[in-house]
Structure 1
Amino acid sequence: MSWAQVLADAGLNEREIQSILILSSKPKLKASELASELGTTRLDAYNSLSRLQDIGLVTTTADRPMKFSSPPVNEAVEQLIGMKKEQLRRVEIGYESVLEGRTIEGSNIKESRTDEPKFAVLKERVHIHKRIEQMAEEAQTRMVLMLGEYGILALCRGPAVEAVNSAAKRGVRVQVLAKLHRRTVRFFQQLDDAVEVRHSDDVETQGALKDETEVLQMLKIEANPVGRGREDAALYVLSEQFAASQANLIDAIWPEAVPFEQAVKRFTEKQIVDPLRIEIGQGSFLEKLRNALGVDLELPDEDTPFDPDAMIKAGREVSNARRSLSENSLASLTILGFDLHMMMRQVGRRVGEELAFTLRSIDDNIEFLNEMMDLWEAAGLGTLAYEFDPNFHVRVGLNELPETDNSEVLPLWELDDGIIEGALAARYPDEGDVRVVREEGSGEIDDLWRYHLLMQEDEEITAEV
């Protein structure tokens, strides 16, 4: 039996068979060159290449014009056999699902490796996740999965999750970046304990990175997260330079992401316990310390004679300065560069975010504000009121006027205002239909700050006027 017959039995048509046989022996052909070898038009050649690319049997170089290659015939056949086995497995499990209500997905793709950058467009989730499975099986040092909000569902419904767990068990560092959702948290339990999982609200994309050599990036994802993904599409890139740039991006996001054990408490304990990172101030802290101690911390440009009296005097001055700083705690923090106003506002914003999180089940905006008002007044912080003139806004009042000119008091009013700012920012994010604008109030105790909630249509009307 010939290779052509085997490929035909695997489901390829005559032109696809000839394309595989030609490209496996003559890699990096242009479409026009392949058309000449096939004795057909370039359009027909492109049609065959498109189908073979979809199932991962043909890769493309990023040249102009593009050049196409195929793995050796025996490897191509092995890939097709794997695909057929997976399809048969899906049929068997699909038959069982009719009786038991279960579904599962999977597939197979494989290709040859060269040092030259290549890319391929994969279509259908079954093929895409088979490539992820292959990447995990071949990973040697590192495997990263970007799962977005619902990617964990597709991962756990196919064989790729086992390959990922196996990679972690054999010592590969496996990292998962995801945007946790209350409906997906339990699926992360299917990952091995050695898999590092972190949550980030900014992770929307889905893809994978292997050993800083291969990258898979989702291009199109079916809207239904539990669908079969027949319309899914992904770009697979074999390029060390491109993979390194993706790795740098991931490494920049990873430290800011929240470990799974902390992030999951949002859904198990209904609390935000993510670490709070506070910016304490700006400018040169070395210069601030030098000024606070009243000493010159610059190293001399040349050797100077040792003067014990000067050394004792300088030490005494530093000790006195340190003692003075320790006796006046709040003012000393300001002298050392701590911006207490900024710090208290950041703490307040976090409290406000947590408050909005506890009220997230309230859909009605007025009811949400009423709850905020009740909590604000019950805590003895002051008064909240909303008004409609000149536009809808929240008026913030405190029980005591801020002592803005007194550096000896802790600026708790910044914390109070930050609570409102954080709660409204969490309730109405920047990408939503409502824009929150803060402005100073009249200065009266019941009108210190105002937060305008501008609907998109309101802004359009204002712009027209």
Structure 2
Amino acid sequence: MVRLMLNPAEEVIQRLVDSGLDEKEANIAVSMAGRSPMKASQIGKLVGVSRMDAYNTLKRLQEKGMIKSTVDKPMRFAGLTIAEIFHQLINREEAELRRLRNHLEELESGPAEAFISIPPEVKEATFTVIKDSNHIQAAMERMVDDSEDEIIMMLGRWGILHLVRSGCIDALNNAAVRGVKVRVIAVLEEKNSKFFDKLDDSIEVRHCNDSNAGISIFDDDAAIQLISIEENPVGRGKNDSALVVESQGYNKAQRELVDALWADAIDINSARSKILQGNLIEPLKVVLGEGSFYQRLKDGIQKLSSVPNAVLRNKGEIIGINPQNMTLDLMGISFDDLMRNIGNRIGEEIATSASVIDDSENFNDELQKIWNKLGMGELILEGNPPNSITVIDSKACQNGAEMGKLFCHLDEGILEGIMKERHGYSSISVKRNCPVDGSVSCQFEIQLLKE
């Protein structure tokens, strides 16, 4: 259960409201806990309502067995402990559940058995709107139980919490155990991470920041689309609403959207590593050129064969054409781009690991320490966000680095990755000026570009 930043009384009131009492009833029940018997007028002043309003609320609580009254006149009221109130609510719900089960069992075993099982003859697309979080979760649990092939859920930030609180997560795990393919897309955060551990190991979970649509698809036959959800993740959700749709056309369109998000989402273990520990562990995808590599090979051999023999001699012997000795540059694969991409990933990890630091100056100080600890020189940052970064005693620039030196491009990519991750700009321009006088300082001009 997620704990909100409330004082104890407010938290108990909220939980009682979530358990079925209205706000006035919960307020009075909590205010009277641990107090001596009081008159209705005194209770009204205590909670800020009129004497008549307090009396009517006390009467309702008394009918529910949550308030006692004195025999002597004038009548005074005494409350139960909070624990006793919750036990009373639990006993009432269990009695109601037993009553419903008895009705169903009697109908199924009596002459009405055939009548209650007749399915409706509906061949066209249908929909229904469901209100209240409890009803929505109950409908979702029923659809999970009926699923035979596949279930896909987009849970957003707190959808996993609703599954845990309602018990629907047990139905989901049971479906996975009996062979139903279950996939979940959610927004992983530090506060909700632990709830995903309650899912069965066979359920595949991915993280995607854009998975707020709140839709669940069952066997491509039916879908539940959340319309409005209470912002408070532990609220009762009385005003929550959802659309239940049984339409092949609608479900196909939603399935295409979900599949597109699934392809871009990342495995939950990789997401946890990044969000909770600041490490990026998903594979780094690099594009190694484009076009026909066979044509490049032929063109490269032709160019190589035109080089003067004087260049292709080894101890006086002419060296033959050997494709194995050809460089990757000849194939259109740039080591510079490769090192820059790797640098981008490293930069993202550095920025993520220091993301808890809000103050820009403190972040820059931490960045300088990390850079120096890695043995990459001393950083001097100018501007906020930085528009100029000087690297003093850069190991990449030893002996006067040229523009194409691999580790210069690595440093450049690291700085680019840090700036992108830290400042949220999707386009960054990094221009490096390396000295030609033999010194070992490089200056990087950073330009943050808004799209």
TM-score by length of 1: 0.60
Deviation at 1:322, TM superposition (A): 2.6
- Alignment of 1:335 onto 2:336: no
Structure 2 unaligned residues grouped into runs of 5+ = 1-63, 65-81, 101-118, 304-319
Change (3 A) 1:169 1:293: farther
Q: Quickly say closer, same or farther: Cα 1:226–1:233, change in 2 above 3 A.
A: same
Give matches, 1:160-239, under 5 Å: 160-239=168-247
Q: 1:166 to 1:378 in 2, by over 3 A?
A: closer
- Deviations 1:154-188, CA, capped at 9 Å, x for gaps: 11111321221121111110001112112212111
CA spacing shift, 1:378–1:195, aligned 2, 3 Å: closer
- State the alpha-carbon separation in 1 of the partners of residues 122 and 294 from structure 2: 52
Question: C-alpha distance in 1, partners of 2:84/2:334?
Answer: 64
- Could you tell me which residue of structure 2 aligns to residue 118 of structure 1? 126
SS of residue matched to 2:287: coil
Q: 3-state SS of the aligned residue for 1:157?
A: helix
Matches of 1:292 and 1:101, distance apart in 2: 81
* Structure 1 residues 58-89: Cα deviation after superposition (integer angstroms, max 9, x where no partner): xxxxxxxxxxxxxxxxxxxxxxxxxxxxxx9x
1:440 to 419, 431, 435: 431
Identity %: 31
From 368, 372, 377, the equivalent of 2:367 is 372
Q: 2-side partners of 1:240 and 1:168: how far apart?
A: 24
Task: Kindly indicate whether residue 381 of structure 2 is the aligned counterpart of residue 386 of structure 1.
Answer: yes
1:253 aligns with 2:261: yes
Show the 5 A alignment for 1:313-328.
320-325=321-326
Q: How many residues align?
A: 321
Q: Distance in 2 between matches of 1:181 and 1:427?
A: 18
| Stretches of structure 1 lacking an aligned partner (at least 5 in a row) | 1-87, 89-93, 296-318, 326-331, 460-465
Instruction: Supply the AA of the counterpart residue of 1:224.
Output: N
* Offset at residue 337 of structure 1 (A): 2.9
Q: RMSD value over aligned CA atoms?
A: 3.7
CA shift for structure 1 position 130: 1.9
Q: 1:275–1:392: structure 2 CA closer, same or farther, 3 Å change rule?
A: closer
Residues 417-436 of structure 1: matches in 2 within 5 Å?
Answer: 417-430=412-425
* C-alpha distance in 1 between matches for 2:181 and 2:269: 18
Q: 1:97 & 1:348 partners in 2: Cα distance?
A: 60
How many angstroms apart in 2 are the aligned matches of 1:366 and 1:100? 56
Q: Distance in 2 between matches of 1:412 and 1:114?
A: 67
Shift in alpha-carbon separation, 1:269–1:397, aligned structure 2, 3 A: closer
- How far residue 210 of structure 1 moved from its aligned partner, in angstroms, is 1.1
Q: CA deviation at 1:97?
A: 7.9
2:306 aligned partner: none
CA deviations over 1:228-272 (Å, ceiling 9, x no partner): 223333333221122122222322332443323333334665533
Evaluate the alpha carbon distance shift between residue 216 and residue 290 of structure 1 in structure 2; reply closer, same or farther with a 3 A threshold. farther
SS at match of 2:171: helix
> Residues 143 and 113 (structure 1 numbering): CA distance in 2 closer, same or farther, change over 3 Å?
farther
Does structure 1 conserve the Cα–Cα contact (< 8 Å) formed by 2:278 and 2:349?
Answer: no
Corresponding residue for residue 343 of structure 2: 348
How many angstroms apart in 1 are the aligned matches of 2:390 and 2:271?
31
Match of 2:446 in 1: 451
**Given that residues 384 and 396 in structure 1 are in contact (C-alpha distance below 8 angstroms), is that contact kept between their aligned partners in structure 2?**
yes
Is 1:285 the counterpart of 2:293? The answer is: yes
Q: What code does the residue aligned with 1:374 have?
A: K
Matches of 1:228 and 1:146, distance apart in 2: 21
Q: Equivalents in 1 of 2:88, 2:286: separation in Å?
A: 52
Pair member with larger Rg: 2
Task: State the 1:282 CA deviation.
Answer: 2.8
The verdict on how the C-alpha distance between 1:274 and 1:392 changes in structure 2, with shifts beyond 3 A counting, is closer
Which piece of structure 1 moves more, 252-261 or 161-170? 252-261
Name the amino acid aligned to 1:417.
E
The aligned residue for residue 73 of structure 1 is none
2: CA distance, partners of 1:436 / 1:446: 26
After TM superposition, the structure 1 stretch with the greater mean CA deviation from structure 2, 435-444 or 129-138, is: 435-444
Question: Are the equivalent residues in 2 in contact too, given 1:280–1:342 (CA < 8 A)?
Answer: no
> Structure 1 residues 95 and 426, CA, compared in 2 at 3 Å: closer, same or farther?
same
Letter of the 2:431 partner, please give it: E
Q: Distance in 1 between matches of 2:256 and 2:302?
A: 43
Residue type of the partner of 2:323?
A: R
Residue 423 of structure 1: CA displacement?
1.5
1:271 to 279, 283, 289: 279
Query: Would the aligned equivalents of 1:280 and 1:340 in 2 still touch at CA under 8 Å?
Result: no
**Is 1:137 paired with 2:145?**
yes
Counterpart CA distance in 2 for 1:187 and 1:395 is 42
Measured after TM superposition, the shift of residue 100 of structure 1 is 12
Whole-angstrom CA distance in 2 between matches of 1:100 and 1:335: 80
TM-score with structure 2 setting the length: 0.62
Give me the whole-angstrom Cα distance separating, in 1, the residues matched to 2:279 and 2:164: 27
Q: Distance in 1 between matches of 2:422 and 2:185?
A: 24
* Contact 2:280–2:345, Cα closer than 8 Å, also in 1: no
* Contact 1:213/1:244 (<8 A) preserved: no
Residue in structure 1 matched with residue 354 of structure 2 by the alignment: 359
How many angstroms apart in 2 are the aligned matches of 1:253 and 1:238?
A: 22
CA contact (8 A) 1:349 1:422 kept: yes
SS in 1 for 2:129: strand
Output the CA distance in 2 between the equivalents of 1:394 and 1:217: 49
Residue 135 (structure 2) aligned to one of 110, 127, 142:
127
SS of 1:413's equivalent in the other structure is helix
Whole-Å separation in 1 of the counterparts to 2:288 and 2:324 = 22
The aligned counterpart of 1:84 is none
Pair 338,436 (structure 1): closer, same or farther in 2 beyond 3 Å: closer
| Matches of 2:434 and 2:85, distance apart in 1 | 67
Q: Partner letter of residue 391 of structure 2? A: G
